[in-house]
């Protein structure tokens, strides 16, 4: 039997940070061994909100692929491509839009929230309202069985399922496949200032840092505010650093850190040095790979060209069925 299919994308709207890594990319890497994965740069989706200044999409799109390769997305195992290279996503988006009731889009909570959040961007556009229809097209064009997503994306996936059911009901059973979610539990890693890690808060540790910039950021991180002086005891649960120790520091060492924090025998600076060492151990090889690909961008272009060819092959098969179901197949 063919391995099951995974489809997922990330919008290229800036550099990827540890939140992306722990919440999304680490999972993507792991899923490659079990599934046939299609991972893509969702540049059209980025355009729904960044249409006034698309230069960020171009820059971060290419670099995003480099970062994926750096963390271990493997072009031998997975299909890596750019959404806008596969024009049939747009065709399917158009065709699905014919059968998608407006009310389904207007009631979408993610849509309402995001519009509110990005108020300054004027998202009262047709493209932005249609965002989840495009996402449905991305997914069903490859007959994805599973879509790894965070909780915020659940309404979009539910909508994709509803569109598939409606499509199959109108045009014939089982032409399109209903996708299910793989909910990835993102560990809560806070940014340097304790708020949610986000590019716009300028509090992010990026996947690609230099040794110096990483050190500077870790040393800047807010710890438990009860530890004003070196002798003040603290509580790991109230410290921003600790969730990162949970990811990058071994259990035995963590026990010691907890005890040392609570009886003040370990100072925050020393605690930070331990974390820094572990982060460097984890990310130095990633940076090396990223540096390598940045110096060999033609390799990245080749990977994208090959991914485009594979994605085209698979999506064309689906489109033939869809066109014929909607009586659009070319005669003769």
Q: What are the residues binding ligand TRP (CB under 6 A)?
A: 7-9, 11, 42, 45, 135, 138-139, 147, 149, 153
Q: Which residues have a Cβ under 8 Å from the Cβ of 150 and sit 6 or more positions away?
A: 23, 24, 183, 184, 186
Taking the C-alpha atoms of residue 299 and residue 207, their distance in angstroms, rounded to an integer, is: 21
Nearer to ligand TRP, 141 or 205 (CB): 141
Starting at the edge strand found earlier in the chain, the sheet holding 79-82 runs 79-82, 36-41, 5-10, 146-149, 180-183
**Is 85 buried (19+), middle (13-18) or exposed (0-12) by CB count in 10 A?**
middle
Distances (CA, A) of 182 to 62, 132, 171: 26, 18, 28
Q: How far is CA 208 from the centre of its chain?
A: 16
Nearer to ligand TRP, 187 or 194 (CB): 187
Extract the tokens encoding 25: 């990319």
**Closest distance to ligand TRP from the beta carbon of 150 (Å):** 7
Residue carrying structure tokens 């990058």: 248
For 8, the 3-state DSSP assignment is strand
Extract the tokens encoding 146: 């599973």
**Closest distance to ligand TRP from the beta carbon of 48 (Å):** 10
**Closest distance to ligand TRP from the beta carbon of 137 (Å):** 9
Nearer to ligand TRP, 179 or 260 (CB): 179
Taking the C-alpha atoms of residue 59 and residue 129, their distance in angstroms, rounded to an integer, is: 25
Extract the tokens encoding 136: 């449905």
Number of residues assigned to the chain: 332
Taking the C-alpha atoms of residue 264 and residue 164, their distance in angstroms, rounded to an integer, is: 58
Nearer to ligand TRP, 43 or 224 (CB): 43
Nearer to ligand TRP, 133 or 271 (CB): 133
CA atoms within 13 A on the CB side of 80: 24
**Closest distance to ligand TRP from the beta carbon of 314 (Å):** 15
**Closest distance to ligand TRP from the beta carbon of 67 (Å):** 15
Measuring CA to CA, which residue among 42, 36, 123, 48 is closest to residue 89? 42
**Closest distance to ligand TRP from the beta carbon of 165 (Å):** 18
Cross-strand partners of 40: 9, 81
Nearer to ligand TRP, 136 or 214 (CB): 136
**Closest distance to ligand TRP from the beta carbon of 305 (Å):** 21
**Closest distance to ligand TRP from the beta carbon of 233 (Å):** 40
Nearer to ligand TRP, 135 or 184 (CB): 135
Nearer to ligand TRP, 149 or 266 (CB): 149
**Closest distance to ligand TRP from the beta carbon of 145 (Å):** 13
Taking the C-alpha atoms of residue 69 and residue 289, their distance in angstroms, rounded to an integer, is: 8
Nearer to ligand TRP, 9 or 260 (CB): 9
């Amino acid at each position: 039997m063919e391995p099951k299919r995974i489809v997922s994308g990330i919008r290229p709207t800036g550099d990827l940070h540890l939140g992306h890594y722990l919440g999304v990319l680490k999972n993507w890497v792991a899923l490659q061994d079990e599934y046939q994965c299609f991972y893509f740069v969702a540049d059209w989706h980025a355009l729904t909100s960044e249409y006034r200044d698309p230069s960020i999409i171009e820059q971060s799109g290419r670099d995003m692929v480099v970062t994926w390769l750096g963390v271990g997305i493997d072009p031998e195992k997975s299909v890596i491509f750019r959404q806008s290279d596969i024009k049939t996503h747009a065709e399917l988006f158009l065709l699905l839009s014919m059968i998608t009731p407006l009310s389904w889009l207007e009631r979408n909570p993610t849509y309402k929230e995001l519009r509110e959040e990005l108020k300054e961007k004027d998202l009262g556009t047709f493209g932005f309202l249609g965002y989840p229809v495009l996402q449905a097209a991305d997914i069903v064009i490859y007959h994805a069985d599973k879509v790894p997503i965070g909780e915020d994306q659940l309404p979009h996936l539910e909508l994709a399922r509803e569109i598939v059911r409606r499509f199959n009901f109108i045009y014939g059973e089982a032409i399109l496949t209903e996708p299910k979610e793989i909910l990835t539990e993102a560990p809560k890693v806070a940014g340097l200032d304790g708020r949610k890690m986000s590019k716009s808060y300028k509090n992010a540790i990026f996947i690609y840092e230099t040794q110096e910039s990483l050190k500077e950021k870790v040393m800047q991180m807010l710890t438990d505010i009860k530890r004003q002086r070196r002798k003040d005891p603290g509580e790991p649960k109230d410290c921003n650093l600790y969730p990162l120790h949970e990811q990058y520091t071994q259990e035995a060492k963590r026990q010691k850190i907890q005890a040392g924090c609570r009886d003040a025998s370990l100072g925050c600076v020393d605690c930070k040095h331990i974390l820094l060492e572990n982060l460097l151990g984890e990310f130095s090889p990633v940076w090396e790979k990223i540096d390598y690909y940045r110096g060999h961008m033609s390799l990245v272009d080749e990977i994208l060209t090959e991914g485009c060819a594979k994605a085209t092959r698979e999506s064309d098969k689906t489109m033939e069925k869809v066109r014929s179901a909607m009586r659009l197949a070319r005669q003769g």
